Structure formats: C-alpha cells, structure tokens
C-alpha cells in the first residue's frame, strides 16, 4: 500500500503521520504543495499544522494550491483522502467536505486528550473499529468548532456521514464533553461517497505506548 | 479600478471574537454598545476599465477565496 502526504508551508504533523503510516508498512511519499502531479497512491493524507500561518481562514490558501487540484481529481475518482486537523480545515475549504471549522467557542487554543465515539464504522477509515467504540485521541487546535447549515447537518445525518463525535469516558455525547462548540459534538465526518475523511483529533499522535496511547492505531489498521 | 470588500459572518453564525470584543467594550464603561460582530476588510485594484467586468472579477475573488460562503457573506463597493 502506498500513501502520499501533502506538505504545505506551515504543515507540522507531516512527519508524525509519515511515522504512523510507515509503522503499518504503508510506503509513504512526501509531496510538496507546488507539485502538479500526485504519485500513484492508495491514500492521500493532508496533515495537521498551520498552513500559510492560518492567514485569511484556516486552510483557505492551502486549498487553492497546485497539488490540491490533483487531490480533488483523485477524490473524485474514489481515491481515499484523509485530512487531520488543518487537513480537515483544508478539505472543507476545498469543497471536498461540507461545513466549516470556526474559532473554538471559548476562544482558546485547546491541547488535550479527548474521547471520541465511533459513530460510523462502515468506512474504509474505521472498518476495523468496533461500533460505538470510544477512542482516546488528543486535539490541538484553535479552530475546530464544526459548523454547517441546517440542510447540511440533515444531509450529514441522513447519509450517515458523521464518523466521530466528542464524548465523555462513558460515551455520553453532551455539552460537557464538547471541547470546542462543534455542532452535534462533531469531531470527524466523511463525504457522501465515504472516501474522504476529515477529523480534528490527531490519531497519528497515539500510535505507540511510548507516545501515551495506541487508540490511533485503529484508524491506520482499518486503512490496510 | 479600486474596490473595497467587507466579509462578515452570516447572522446565524456565532461570532465568539465579536462577543469577546463586546465584553471588553462593556468593561470600558461603554454600556450602550452591543451586538458587536467582527469581520474582514479588503481593498483591491483591478486592471479593467469596464466597471461591470471589474465588479464581476471582484465577485469571483469573493466567491472563490475571500469569503467562505458556508459561514460568511460579502459586500463590494467601488472606491475609484
């Protein structure tokens, strides 16, 4: 299996995700944002970071970069695209996922472990995770407050596109377990075709006990 | 041709930054001021003599990059 990790100016989780992919024997190529061709890939990852210093809106400038034209084409043919944190923001700005990620409701950068509930385990990204399993995964963002119009939210529900929701340790999805004000505690969604996943938490940071946890492994294992 | 563009959050989108600014304004004793919403302001020049065409290009820039129409709206005004 081959993966491409897109590197934008300001990406800072690109190497972490490379380490995570390679741990699962996924051969990984780093692709600079100014490239105009995507290497033959089974998966494209948009990593976390602060592309273009979050200027204008998080992910807005990165979504217009040269390589993104190819990523959009690739996603259109059913290719798997996985955006983490800033990668999720880029996917919404590129129109590959609905909604937008606003400033956290309490205006603070949040860096901590949170619990997320696996709502849809019928995607390529979650197929080896048991239904409703609670994963402990860190978040590290200033703009993770998921927003979408009423129609978009209804469509996300109708098409089973909500993949992860913030919850507490018992799995309760409530206001108290919502770290950033996201609609419906949404932490991750897929597109209608289920081949593009965006999520704010960082599974690549919990792939080894030495890093403090292994729950992120479940996502990378699902991709194999 | 020179234009100015305002990009603001749609009415139904919460604006926590605007709220925080409003809190600070109230702390200053300016208690009559309320409903503060924060937005972005751009000026740009377009090398085009036809006003209609120039305005369309400004619209294009708003729709494609300057505003995210999921959460924001924009207004364009000709300056010169």
Q: Which of A13, A33, A58, A85 is catalytic?
A: A85
Beta strands in chain A (DSSP E): 2-7, 27-32, 43-46, 80-84, 100-102, 110-118, 134-141, 145-147, 162-167, 186-190, 196-199
Q: Domain with A30 in it: what CATH number? A: 3.40.50.880
pLDDT recorded at residue A155: 98
ipTM of this complex prediction, to 2 decimal places: 0.86
Question: Six-digit token pair at B17?
Answer: 């930054």
> Could B17 and A107 be called an inter-chain contact, meaning their C-beta atoms sit closer than 8 Å?
yes
**What does the angle CA A31 – CA A37 – CA A42 come to, to the nearest 5 degrees?**
70
The parts of chain A modelled with pLDDT lower than 50 are none
Q: Which of A36, A45, A98, A30 is nearest to A69 (CA)?
A: A36
Q: Which residue of B has its CA nearest to A99?
A: B70
Which residues touch A205 (CB under 8 Å, ≥6 apart)? A13, A16, A137, A138, A211, A212, A216
How are beta strands A43-46 and A2-7 bridged, if at all? parallel
pLDDT recorded at residue A106: 92
The domain tally of chain A equals: 1
Residue B13 burial (CB count, 10 A) = 16
Q: Is A58 a catalytic residue?
A: no
How close is the nearest chain B Cα to the Cα of A56, in Å? 7
How far is Cα A219 from Cα A198, in angstroms, rounded to an integer?
12
Q: Which of A105, A106, A68, A107 is nearest to A89 (CA)?
A: A68
Q: What is the pLDDT of residues A100-127, one digit of tens each?
A: 999 999 999 999 999 999 999 999 999 9
How far is Cα A26 from Cα A22, in angstroms, rounded to an integer?
5
pLDDT recorded at residue A62: 97
Rg (C-alpha) for chain B, rounded Å, is 16
pLDDT recorded at residue A160: 97
Q: Which domain does B49 fall in, by range? A: 2-78
The domain tally of chain B equals: 1
Q: What is the pLDDT of residues A133-170, one digit of tens each?
A: 999 999 999 999 999 999 999 999 999 999 999 999 99
pLDDT recorded at residue B47: 97
Q: What is the pLDDT of residues B66-76, one digit of tens each?
A: 999 999 999 99
Alpha helices in chain A (DSSP H): 14-23, 66-76, 86-93, 150-158, 217-223
Provide the pLDDT confidence category of residue B65 given band limits of 50, 70 and 90: very high
**End-to-end CA distance of chain A, in Å?**
7
pLDDT recorded at residue A42: 98
Q: Which domain does A38 fall in, by range? A: 2-223
pLDDT recorded at residue A102: 95
Q: Would the CA dihedral through A18, A20, A221, A49 be positive or negative?
A: negative
Residues of A in Cβ contact (< 8 Å) with B39 = none
- Residue that the structure tokens 């369309």 belong to: B56
How are beta strands A27-32 and A2-7 bridged, if at all? parallel
* A72, A62 Cβ separation under 8 angstroms: no
Among partner residues B13, B65, B70, which is closest to A64 by beta-carbon distance?
B65
**Percentage of chain A modeled with pLDDT above 70:** 100
Q: Domain with B45 in it: what CATH number? A: 3.30.1280.10
pLDDT recorded at residue A219: 97
């Amino acid at each position: 299996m081959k993966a491409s990790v897109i590197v934008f100016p300001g990406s800072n989780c690109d190497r972490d995700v490379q380490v995570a992919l390679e741990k699962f024997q996924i051969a990984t190529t780093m692709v600079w944002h100014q490239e105009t061709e995507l290497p033959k890939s089974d998966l494209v990852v948009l990593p976390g970071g602060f592309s273009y210093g979050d200027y204008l809106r998080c992910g807005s400038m990165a979504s217009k970069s040269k390589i993104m034209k190819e990523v959009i084409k690739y996603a259109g043919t059913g290719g798997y695209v996985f955006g983490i944190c800033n990668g999720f923001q880029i996917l919404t700005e590129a129109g590959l996922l609905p909604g937008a990620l606003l400033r956290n409701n309490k205006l603070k950068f949040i860096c901590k472990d949170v619990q997320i509930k696996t709502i849809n385990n019928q995607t390529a990204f979650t197929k080896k995770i048991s239904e409703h399993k609670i994963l402990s995964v860190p978040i590290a963002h200033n703009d993770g407050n998921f927003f979408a119009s009423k129609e978009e939210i209804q469509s996300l529900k109708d098409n089973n596109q909500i993949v992860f929701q913030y919850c507490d340790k018992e799995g309760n999805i409530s206001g108290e377990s919502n770290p950033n004000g996201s609609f419906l505690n949404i932490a991750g969604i897929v597109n209608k075709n289920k081949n593009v996943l965006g999520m704010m938490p960082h599974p690549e940071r919990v792939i080894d006990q030495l890093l403090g946890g292994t729950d992120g492994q479940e996502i990378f294992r699902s991709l194999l | 041709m020179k234009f100015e563009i305002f990009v603001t959050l749609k009415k139904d989108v919460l604006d926590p930054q605007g709220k925080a600014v409003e809190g600070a304004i109230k702390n200053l004793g300016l208690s009559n001021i309320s409903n503060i919403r924060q937005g972005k302001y751009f000026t740009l020049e377009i090398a085009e003599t036809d006003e209609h065409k120039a305005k369309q290009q400004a619209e294009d820039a708003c729709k494609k990059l300057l505003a995210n129409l999921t959460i924001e709206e924009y207004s364009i005004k000709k300056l010169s």
